[in-house]
């Protein structure tokens, strides 16, 4: 997987040199940053201008963006994404879909956004990471790269960690516990210490369902539950067994 990033702050992406995925950077996936300011329109490094029609802030001009995009070999440009609050909200389904592509190019906007003509001509898709505003597309791009890279085969040593992550099956992950068995007089649920793998699996499944129902009930409407999941949830709802 090749990630190409068009940005005015390439140094931000050094954060991806840390953490579990850093070991696979340069192996399972590659990141190339292209500095938009290298195609500034003047010696002052200008890549933005005031919006036509008036309004607050500045808008990134289309020509520096176009020339930066041309710096990427055609064989590596792949799917072009603009990180934007106006985009479709990123979710795990989209993350997995993107992880199957060979190359992705991310456009990191700043200020009040980028000229719509560039979007119309060169962008395949707009994506948002949530209903909030951040200082620039770089931070959204880092989140997207991290999420997508986790799903590239071989990027995470234990593939079950990815398969069982929150949202991977459409549900929230349930509670998890570790040593000690008692912390501030609160004990680990007895079933998790039983050694009965069948009961432990049922407990984990049910706990995931419960947390989803309590915290994100909207997700349950989007997931097709198995007969076992339905039975466990129905029993909990009728008996409050946890």
- Map residue 197 onto helix, strand or coil: helix
Residue 112 bears catalytic tag = yes
Catalytic residue among 32, 37, 85, 126: 85
End-to-end CA distance of the chain: 43
Residue 153 bears catalytic tag = no
> Across the chain, where does the E strand assignment appear?
2-7, 30-35, 48-49, 59-60, 79-89, 103-108, 125-128, 182-183, 186-187
- Rounded distance, CA 114 to CA 117, Å? 9
Catalytic residue among 71, 125, 126, 165: 165
Catalytic residue among 32, 112, 125, 146: 112
Residue 215 bears catalytic tag = no
Max intra-chain CA distance, the chain: 72
Residue 180 bears catalytic tag = no
Catalytic residue among 35, 110, 138, 150: 150
- For the chain, the helix, strand and coil percentages under 3-state DSSP, each to the nearest 5: 40, 20, 40
Active site residues: 85, 112, 150, 165
């Amino acid at each position: 997987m090749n990630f190409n990033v068009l940005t005015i702050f390439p140094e931000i992406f050094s954060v991806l040199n840390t953490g579990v995925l850093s070991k696979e950077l340069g192996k399972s996936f590659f990141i190339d940053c292209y500095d938009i300011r290298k195609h500034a329109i003047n010696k002052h490094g200008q890549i933005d201008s005031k919006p036509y029609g008036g309004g607050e802030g500045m808008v990134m001009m289309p020509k520096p963006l176009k020339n930066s995009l041309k710096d990427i070999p055609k064989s590596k440009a792949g799917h072009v994404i603009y990180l934007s609050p106006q985009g479709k909200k990123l979710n795990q389904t989209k993350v997995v879909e993107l992880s199957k592509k060979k190359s992705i190019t991310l456009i990191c906007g700043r200020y009040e956004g980028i000229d719509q003509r560039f979007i119309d001509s060169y962008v395949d898709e707009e994506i948002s990471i949530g209903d909030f505003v951040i200082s620039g597309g770089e931070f959204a791009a880092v989140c997207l790269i991290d999420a997508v890279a986790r799903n590239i085969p071989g990027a995470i040593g234990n593939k079950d960690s990815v398969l069982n992550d929150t949202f991977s099956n459409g549900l929230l992950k349930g509670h998890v516990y570790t040593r000690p068995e008692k912390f501030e007089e609160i004990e680990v649920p007895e079933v998790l210490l039983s050694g009965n793998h069948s009961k432990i699996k049922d407990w984990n499944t049910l706990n995931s369902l419960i947390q989803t129902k309590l915290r994100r009930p909207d997700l349950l409407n989007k997931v097709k539950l198995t007969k076992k999941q339905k039975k466990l949830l129905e029993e909990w709802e009728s008996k409050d067994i946890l």
